[in-house]
Structure 1
Amino acid sequence: MPRATATAGSGGSDTSGGSHETVGQGGGAPDGAGDADCFDRWRQVMGQSRAADMTSDHASVFTATVRQAQLGPAVVLGTAFPSIRVRRTVRMIRRSDPELYHLTMVTAGSGAVTSGTGPTQHLAPGHLHLVTSSQPYDSRFSAAPGTGAEHPRTEGIGIDLPVSLLPLPARRVHRLLGRALPADQGSGVLLTSFLLGLDRQLPTLRPDEATRLGGVVIDLLSAYLARELDDEDSLPAETRHRAMLHDVRAFIRHHLHDPGLTPPTIAAAHHVSVSYLHRLFTRDSHGTTLVAFIRHQRLSKAYNDLADPALRALPIQAVAARCGFTHASAFTRAFKAAYGLSPSDHRHGHTVQPSSGPRVRTG
């Protein structure tokens, strides 16, 4: 029978940056066969930041993957497995309590979770769920009925962080523990989108990037929980500002195709004044103005689209329009000023990939 196999790193919780652990034969593929040793290895990796009793109905044929990274004081986990039951008991808490929050987002399969004395909550893909190491919980996760009958898979992303890092009173957050939390609006969408992107990039993160991203995770999670508590005013001003700026940047990237993407429309979408938005953005971006950032994003998207073989048949003017440029001549001048060559020359390979994107004026 196959043994656990590490494809990169050890999966330890002291890892700076990303690591990836594949447990079972065939890289954890659904058609691979696993064994109890594979389950023991997976349980060991997961237990480094989640101290709980873990069992599985598929322990004898277990295959799984684990992606794990240390983001400053927080740990992010991405995993796939057949089925699992995770229990933290009163006895475990009495023996040792690291005082951590455990956030889980189900991306495939389903879950049923009981926290403390509360009712059982049922989780579907897209749901968020928060528990604490200071309170008993009983979680069961399994593949959706009828999917992968021979080797079913459940997938999820988790964040583990000290309770003391959230700028929200623990007594208030307690109201959200054990609940199936929707994340289909506002800061919930920002948080889940960020976690999905983070999970994809874990193997490539450098230590300095990972540390900075830990702060982003905490800000987004804080903003989301405050929204669910209807208590956003209780967040420190800096946390609210950072969460808003992340929202603003995501909004800009999503609307680059719109020629009407201007500071007034962005301010209106976020219910703030234009002057306040300018001050907040410029302060956080080390002098880069909001207008310069929008221009930088438009040109970067055009640069990448012109080099994309799948878009080779799309006229250059159409590429420019996809990036919010309404006049072909203005686009050509801006592109050449930023990259030192015309859009046509870049499309035909007469260029070297720049290291830092287009040149951006800060004034």
Structure 2
Amino acid sequence: MDRRSFIRKAGATGAGAAAATAALAAPAIAQSNPKITWRMTSSFPKSLDTIYGGAEVLSKMLSEATHGNFQIQVFAAGELVPGLQAADAVTAGTVEAAHTVCYYFWGKDPTWALGSDVPFALNARGRNAWQYHGGGIDLFNTFLAKQGLFGLPGGNTGTQMGGWFRKEINTVEDLKGLKMRIGGFAGKVMEKLGLVPQQLAGGDVYPALEKGTIDAAEWVGPYDDEKLGFYKVAPYYYYPGFWEGGPTVHFLFSKEKYEALPAAYKSLLHTACQAEDADMLQKYDYLNTKAIKSLVANGAKLKPFSQEILSACFDAANKTYDEMMASNADFKTIWESIVAFRKEAYLWDQVAEYNFDTFMMIQQRAGKL
């Protein structure tokens, strides 16, 4: 065979091999990186840009990491379903995902609340330590699987404020008969002290406070609260919101749809959710520092709950948990896990972090920072 003939045949063979390789590779790539479009309904309005925005951040990360192949379209509360029906919409197959706070659904089963937060549980760092390294995510997903759901943490506000009050609250006696807009699970605990919980949508809270229909209202914290103008009609701003020491915001997915994802997409979804979980807390830590000063400048009167009130509420919460554990095995399993870690977490917190923070706070008060 002459040299030119050999080169022509070799070239033809090489081209054929390359075409065959391309034909084999294309389907393999398509199978591992398919085009998927999901819809996600949020429990939050767009005006709560930090919480609602968490779903948009997740959507952007997934799209960019897959060159647009994994898309999640985000819809604000009310655009597809009401905010408090977000989890139901996923279970029913109306949408593939939801961004919500699981204590919204505690009326179905109090175990839902443990996925988000309950009074006197953990702060944000403690909750994330328990979730990611103490088995919390797996424990909660064992419960969610019964609803056809799979969940991943997708945000945290940090310890919230205790709310806005039209008058000062100095003793436990002052809580009796007080009409307060407060989340359902926390309201159940506070009922034991005579408080009268009220369930109101965000847009209804200000006029109810202004007219005196309610006496107090809790929302989130300085950044979100300032937008609603509560300080104009209920100037006493109490802290801490002991019912939400570190509330987790969740991404809930159809378990069936999640399990059908390629392994690479599952891994990416876990990574992106954890990134958004951290990002939301970081945003609130930054934004609240400015908002609290602005609120005080506009007339908000910062007041701590007394130790008497905190202790009475702590005891009431423990009684509530004992009642629920006696009749609900799912609740008992998860709450006992939280309690076991809580004891160790607050022991460690007292050693290094607490002493460092306390010293630095003293310097701040002395004007040295």
Give the TM-score of the pair, scaled to structure 1.
0.23
* Greater per-residue helix proportion: 2
* Greater per-residue strand proportion: 1
Structure number, greater radius of gyration: 2
Give the TM-score of the pair, scaled to structure 2.
0.22
